Amino acid sequence: MITKVLMGMTLATAVVMQDGLIEVNVQEKGKDGTHVHLYVPATAATWGVHLAPTEKLKEHLRGHREQLQLARTVVKGLEEIPDATLLEVDTFTEHVRMEKRGGRFLLDVDDKGEVVHISVPIRAARKVLQDLEAEAPAS
Protein backbone atom coordinates (compact mmCIF):
# COMPACT_ATOMS: atom_id res chain seq x y z
CA MET A 1 0.00 0.00 0.00
CA ILE A 2 2.73 2.48 0.95
CA THR A 3 4.50 1.75 -2.35
CA LYS A 4 1.37 2.73 -4.29
CA VAL A 5 1.01 5.94 -2.30
CA LEU A 6 4.67 6.87 -2.87
CA MET A 7 4.41 6.07 -6.58
CA GLY A 8 1.26 8.19 -6.80
CA MET A 9 2.94 11.08 -5.02
CA THR A 10 5.98 10.79 -7.29
CA LEU A 11 3.81 10.81 -10.40
CA ALA A 12 1.78 13.78 -9.13
CA THR A 13 4.98 15.69 -8.38
CA ALA A 14 6.36 14.92 -11.84
CA VAL A 15 3.16 16.17 -13.49
CA VAL A 16 3.07 19.38 -11.44
CA MET A 17 6.78 20.09 -11.94
CA GLN A 18 6.97 19.24 -15.66
CA ASP A 19 6.86 22.91 -16.64
CA GLY A 20 9.33 24.07 -13.99
CA LEU A 21 8.96 26.82 -11.40
CA ILE A 22 8.04 30.48 -11.62
CA GLU A 23 10.12 32.51 -9.18
CA VAL A 24 9.05 35.90 -7.82
CA ASN A 25 11.36 37.68 -5.39
CA VAL A 26 10.52 41.20 -4.19
CA GLN A 27 12.53 43.03 -1.53
CA GLU A 28 11.38 46.48 -0.45
CA LYS A 29 14.24 48.72 0.50
CA GLY A 30 14.31 50.54 3.77
CA LYS A 31 14.42 49.66 7.41
CA ASP A 32 10.99 47.99 7.53
CA GLY A 33 10.99 46.67 3.96
CA THR A 34 8.93 43.58 3.22
CA HIS A 35 10.51 40.58 1.51
CA VAL A 36 8.38 38.18 -0.54
CA HIS A 37 10.03 35.22 -2.22
CA LEU A 38 7.77 32.68 -3.95
CA TYR A 39 8.30 29.61 -6.07
CA VAL A 40 5.14 28.51 -7.87
CA PRO A 41 4.88 25.49 -10.14
CA ALA A 42 4.43 26.86 -13.68
CA THR A 43 1.77 24.20 -14.17
CA ALA A 44 -0.43 26.29 -11.86
CA ALA A 45 -0.48 29.00 -14.53
CA THR A 46 -1.39 26.57 -17.29
CA TRP A 47 -4.10 24.98 -15.15
CA GLY A 48 -5.36 28.42 -14.19
CA VAL A 49 -6.52 29.07 -17.74
CA HIS A 50 -8.64 25.93 -17.62
CA LEU A 51 -9.97 26.61 -14.13
CA ALA A 52 -11.01 30.20 -14.81
CA PRO A 53 -14.74 30.72 -15.41
CA THR A 54 -15.12 30.39 -19.18
CA GLU A 55 -17.40 33.38 -19.74
CA LYS A 56 -15.25 35.71 -17.63
CA LEU A 57 -12.12 34.54 -19.42
CA LYS A 58 -13.69 35.08 -22.86
CA GLU A 59 -14.90 38.52 -21.76
CA HIS A 60 -11.38 39.56 -20.71
CA LEU A 61 -9.82 38.13 -23.88
CA ARG A 62 -12.35 39.61 -26.31
CA GLY A 63 -10.53 41.68 -28.91
CA HIS A 64 -7.06 40.51 -27.89
CA ARG A 65 -6.51 37.55 -30.24
CA GLU A 66 -3.93 39.47 -32.33
CA GLN A 67 -1.93 40.46 -29.24
CA LEU A 68 -1.96 36.84 -28.03
CA GLN A 69 -0.70 35.66 -31.43
CA LEU A 70 2.06 38.28 -31.35
CA ALA A 71 3.06 37.31 -27.79
CA ARG A 72 3.12 33.62 -28.76
CA THR A 73 5.37 34.45 -31.75
CA VAL A 74 7.74 36.40 -29.49
CA VAL A 75 7.88 33.56 -26.96
CA LYS A 76 8.52 31.03 -29.73
CA GLY A 77 11.37 33.23 -30.92
CA LEU A 78 12.80 33.36 -27.39
CA GLU A 79 12.84 29.57 -27.30
CA GLU A 80 14.90 29.46 -30.49
CA ILE A 81 17.58 32.07 -29.78
CA PRO A 82 20.70 31.46 -27.71
CA ASP A 83 20.92 32.88 -24.21
CA ALA A 84 21.19 36.66 -24.37
CA THR A 85 20.53 39.94 -22.61
CA LEU A 86 17.45 41.35 -24.32
CA LEU A 87 17.32 44.74 -22.60
CA GLU A 88 19.42 46.59 -20.09
CA VAL A 89 18.64 50.09 -18.90
CA ASP A 90 20.54 52.07 -16.29
CA THR A 91 19.49 55.45 -14.96
CA PHE A 92 20.52 57.35 -11.85
CA THR A 93 17.73 55.72 -9.87
CA GLU A 94 17.12 52.32 -11.44
CA HIS A 95 18.55 49.32 -13.23
CA VAL A 96 16.39 47.08 -15.43
CA ARG A 97 17.60 43.90 -17.10
CA MET A 98 15.62 41.40 -19.21
CA GLU A 99 17.32 38.28 -20.44
CA LYS A 100 16.82 34.79 -21.78
CA ARG A 101 18.93 32.22 -19.97
CA GLY A 102 18.66 28.44 -19.89
CA GLY A 103 15.10 28.23 -21.18
CA ARG A 104 13.89 30.96 -18.82
CA PHE A 105 12.83 34.57 -19.18
CA LEU A 106 14.38 36.70 -16.44
CA LEU A 107 13.42 40.20 -15.34
CA ASP A 108 15.46 42.09 -12.74
CA VAL A 109 14.62 45.57 -11.52
CA ASP A 110 16.48 47.57 -8.89
CA ASP A 111 15.07 51.02 -8.13
CA LYS A 112 14.82 53.41 -5.19
CA GLY A 113 12.02 51.48 -3.52
CA GLU A 114 12.63 47.79 -4.21
CA VAL A 115 14.55 45.01 -5.85
CA VAL A 116 12.48 42.64 -8.02
CA HIS A 117 13.51 39.36 -9.65
CA ILE A 118 11.09 37.32 -11.78
CA SER A 119 11.99 34.09 -13.56
CA VAL A 120 9.53 32.29 -15.85
CA PRO A 121 10.11 29.09 -17.84
CA ILE A 122 9.61 30.05 -21.49
CA ARG A 123 7.94 26.72 -22.28
CA ALA A 124 5.29 27.37 -19.64
CA ALA A 125 4.67 30.89 -20.98
CA ARG A 126 4.14 29.42 -24.45
CA LYS A 127 1.63 26.89 -23.10
CA VAL A 128 -0.33 29.59 -21.26
CA LEU A 129 -0.44 31.79 -24.36
CA GLN A 130 -1.59 28.86 -26.53
CA ASP A 131 -4.36 28.07 -24.05
CA LEU A 132 -5.43 31.72 -23.81
CA GLU A 133 -5.45 32.06 -27.58
CA ALA A 134 -7.63 28.94 -27.88
CA GLU A 135 -10.12 30.49 -25.43
CA ALA A 136 -10.12 33.96 -27.03
CA PRO A 137 -13.28 34.63 -29.05
CA ALA A 138 -12.81 35.49 -32.71
CA SER A 139 -12.93 39.25 -33.34
pLDDT digits (tens, 9 = 90+) for 42-85: 888 888 887 888 888 888 788 788 888 899 899 999 999 999 99
> 116 near 98, Cβ under 8 Å?
no
Average pLDDT, the chain: 86
Number of folded domains in the chain? 1
Whether 35 is covered by a domain: the verdict is yes
Estimate the crossing angle of helix 122-135 against helix 65-80, to 10 degrees: 160
Least confident of 12-26, 33-47, 49-63: 12-26
Lowest mean pLDDT among 17-21, 52-56, 79-83, 118-122: 17-21
Instruction: Please check whether residue 10 lies inside any domain of the structure.
Output: no
Domain presence at residue 80: yes
Query: What pLDDT does 14 receive?
Result: 55
Residue 7 lies in a domain: no
> Which residues constitute the domain of residue 91?
19-135
Name the pairing type of β-strands 114-121 and 35-41: unpaired
What does the alpha-carbon distance between residue 25 and residue 38 come to, in Å, rounded to a whole number?
6
Strand partners, 116: 26, 109
If one compares 31 and 15, the residue with the highest pLDDT of the two is 31
Residue 13 lies in a domain: no
Q: In 26-121, which residue ranges form alpha helices assigned H by DSSP?
A: 42-51, 54-61, 65-80
DSSP conformation letters of 13-35: HHHHHTT-EEEEEEEE-STT--E
Evaluate whether residue 5 is within a structural domain.
no
| Residue 84 resides in a domain | yes
Residue 51 confidence (pLDDT): 82
Q: What is the pLDDT of residues 93-112, one digit of tens each?
A: 999 999 999 999 999 999 99
Give this prediction's pTM: 0.79
Report, as an integer, the average pLDDT of 33-50. 87
**Angle at the Cα of 70 from the Cα atoms of 65 and 76, rounded to 5 degrees:** 125
